[in-house]
Structure 1
Amino acid sequence: MLQQYKRILVAIDGSYEAELAFRKAVEVAKRNHAHLFLLHVIDTRAFQNVSSFDSAMVEQVTDTQKQTMKEYVSIAKRSGLDDVSYEIEYGAPKTLIGRDYPQAHDIDLIMIGATGLNAVERLLIGSVTEYITRVANCDVLVVRTDLDNKPALIDDKHPESHIQPENDK
Structure 2
Amino acid sequence: MLQQYKKILVAVDGSYEAELAFRKAVEVAKRNQAHLYLIHVIDTRAFQNVSSFDSAMVEQVTQTAKSTMEEYVKTANQAGLDDVSYSIEYGAPKTIIGRDFPKDNGIDLIMIGATGLNAVERLLIGSVTEFVTRSANCDVLVVRSDLENKPALDVVNKKSTIKGPQK
TM-score by length of 1: 0.94
* Partner Cα distance (1:114, 1:78) in 2: 25
Q: Which residue of 1 aligns with 2:139?
A: 139
- Name structure 1 gaps, 5 residues minimum: none
Q: Which residue of 2 aligns with 1:95?
A: 95
The structural deviation recorded for 1:102 is 0.1
* Partner Cα distance (1:164, 1:37) in 2: 15
The structural deviation recorded for 1:151 is 0.8
Q: Is the 8 A contact 2:72 2:165 kept in 1?
A: no
Alignment of 1:1-169 (within 5 A): 1-152=1-152, 153=154, 155=156, 157-163=158-164
Structure 1 stretches of 4+ with a deviation exceeding 4 A read none
Distance 1:108 1:119, change over 3 A: same
Q: Across the two proteins, how many residue pairs are aligned to each other?
A: 166
Q: Is the 8 A contact 1:68 1:165 kept in 2?
A: no
| SS in structure 2 at match of 1:10 | strand
| SS in structure 1 at match of 2:140 | strand
TM-score by length of 2: 0.95
CA deviation map 1:69-128 (0-9, x unaligned): 000000000000000000100000000000000000000000000000101011111100
The structural deviation recorded for 1:42 is 0.2
- Name structure 2 gaps, 5 residues minimum: none
* Partner Cα distance (2:15, 2:157) in 1: 7
